[in-house]
A and B are shown apart, each in its own frame.
Chain A
Amino acid sequence: MTQTFTGGTTAGTVAGAPIEVTNLTKHFGGVHAVQDLSFTVEPGRVTGFLGPNGAGKTTTLRCLLGLVEPTSGSATIGGKRYHDLHAPMRVVGSALEATGFHPGRTATNHLRILARSGGLDQARIPAVLESVGLAEAAGRAVGGFSLGMRQRLQLAAALLGDPGVLVLDEPANGLDPEGIAWLRSFLRYLAGQGRTVIVSSHVLSEVEQTVDDVVIIANGRLVRACPLTELTTGRAHVVVRTPSTDQLVAALAAAAPASTVQRTDEELLVEGLESADVGRIAFGAGIELHELRPGADDLEQVFLALTSAPTDGAPS
């Protein structure tokens, strides 16, 4: 499938700016929404900002965008606070949860208002609507839009200033599978141009095919910030089902002493070997296998393990 996304955004390379969150803390009354959070988001990459609902993702993004005043610490874009950006929508495009539309206003008028307040070129509106697949709905009142269409309009608003930095809060919510696939390639395209893209989600599997880096938080604290590949390193495993469990364990121990085997009710989880190795060893020992596959839910398990860890201790 070939798609072009140039409509509405600058073709070629775009200079992104890094996002730096430093010792950010935000308390709402007695609720500690974000606690001493620090991480960096690099240009030219898609960063997944992950954590369960209520982890503090939205609060962090709202602090970054000057909507919420941090209790302490800072969040900057290219070294500047959002308030200090001269024309913020040209630098940062954002689509936040709980950002609404007047139901009686058309999509075009919503964007015209933003263009006027942000000092942006109104002539870009049709192209931006086209690029998110809303060209047909441009003149319709937003009240009749589906959730997915609203998400697309949010994205159109974020792109209106052709910014180098995109901050998207749960952008996949409400999109159908086709829309999610489209969003994935769109975000890859935008990051490929050099833009900084940060995408929050509470479901890792939703973004794992899109992101280069992950920043994982739970209960307002940083759990992990690393490239996605490092999140999985050393955790790959092979799932095996066999009626001859004991024999297979013995055969694996004999043939590959470095591997480790974990028994669950019906399955063996083998770490340190590829599926092909396990199959060859079983075949050599004449052991019948009923199932042999790489551990596919690995990342999600890592994510769940990371985010459900006890939180009263210091982050690792």
Chain B
Amino acid sequence: MSATLTAPAAAPTRRQRLVSAEILKVTSTKMWLAMLAGVVVYIGIGVVASIFAGAQPGVSVPTLETEPGMRNLFAQAGGAYVFAIVLGALGMTQELRHQTLTSTFLAEPRRNKVMVAKMAAYGVIGAIYGAVGVVFGYALAFALLPLKDHADVPTDALWQIAGGAILGCALFAVVGVALGTLIRNQIAAILGILVWVLLIEQLVVVFLPAFGKWLPGGALFGVLQTTGFNGTEYLPVWAASLVLIAYAVVFGIVAALTTQRRDVT
């Protein structure tokens, strides 16, 4: 009808429609904003602690007077990954909990396309979380740094860490969607992810770095150029990035395959 007024816009492709539907699912409820508030608080605590925490007796952590210490400080701005993976898991388990998955698969019965669109949408939202975390974390760090003695700001690393944080958050959100598909029970999925990410994986990465650097959290330490106790180095950025991408791809494929034929009742 309006063809005479405006040039007909190209019809969106199926993939564009499905991704935009998934993004609208997120933005039409308030959870993503609450989680974003969590990002700010979590990163705020991380940055403040990195700047003001005193040296622990018997533990050698790089201090702000060293370059590794400065990189560790700015790596705190990558903390949004915890919320990205939880948001991804919530996105999937909510569809099961509120039984909206039926509508989702009625609108698009090609389930693998739905799953790919969901993971792509959460990848985008995860990247936004990562970017918000970086902007806030860096701003807070620059605001507080003048209060302490510190080494020069590692300008090149700053950009790399920011890119790593955004990539890492995007991939963690994808893994979250996949885990939500596999675990299905919302509470079990969220608790399991939090216990793993914040406790088990941290312990393994910190105390068994030779093994832990290959875990998703350890790979993220590599992407964020973190230096551990006693100068422990994790994977180089490129290798760590590949490891993270591999995790997202493998989890994503397993999740899409298991969803393909499962009865929705």
Contact = CB atoms under 8 A, between A and B. Distances in A.
Interface residues of B, number: 29
Contacts of B109: 66, 82-83, 85, 88
B149 interface: no
B202 interface: no
Contact of B106 (A94, A103, A109, A116): A94
A100 B100 contact: yes
Interface string B34-66: 000000000000000000000000000000000
Contacts of B103: 99, 110, 113-114, 157
A82 B98 CA distance: 23
A22 B241 CA distance: 52
A105 interface: yes
Nearest to A103: B98
B100 A106 contact: no
Interface in B94-134: 94, 98-100, 102-110, 114
A68 interface: yes
Given A69-B261, A98-B99, A102-B98, A116 B110 contact: no
A116 B265 contact: no
B29 A105 contact: yes
Main secondary structure of the interface of B (DSSP, over half): helix
Interface string A86-104: 0011000010101111111
A65 interface: yes
Contact of A62 (B21, B29, B108, B265): B265
Contact of B24 (A68, A82, A104, A116): A116
Contacts, number: 89
B28 interface: yes
Contacts of B107: 88-89, 114, 117-118
A118 B100 contact: no
A24 to B, nearest CB: 14
B105 A113 contact: no
B156 interface: no
B98 A117 contact: no
B265 A104 contact: no
B264 A62 contact: yes
B264 A67 contact: yes
Contacts of A118: 107-108
A117 B28 contact: no
Interface size on A, as a range, is 20 to 34
A69 B24 contact: no
Contacts of A112: 24, 28
B265 A65 contact: no
Interface in A9-68: 28, 59, 62, 65-68
Contacts of B14: 119
Contact of A117 (B30, B99, B108, B264): B108
A105 B24 CA distance: 10
Contacts of B94: 102
Nearest to B110: A83
**Among B18, B104, B105, residue most surrounded by chain A Cβ atoms (within 10 Å):** B105
Contacts of B30: 104
A69 B263 contact: yes
A117 B104 contact: yes
Contacts of B104: 117
Interface in A153-181: 157
Contacts of B17: 116-117, 119
Nearest to B261: A69
Contacts of A68: 263-265
B100 A102 contact: yes
B20 interface: yes
Contacts of A101: 98, 100
A63 to B, nearest CB: 9
7 contacts: A88-B107, A102-B94, A103-B98, A104-B30, A110-B103, A113-B28, A117-B107
Which 4 A-B pairs have CB atoms at the shortest separation, nearest pair first?
A100-B99, A116-B21, A117-B107, A109-B28
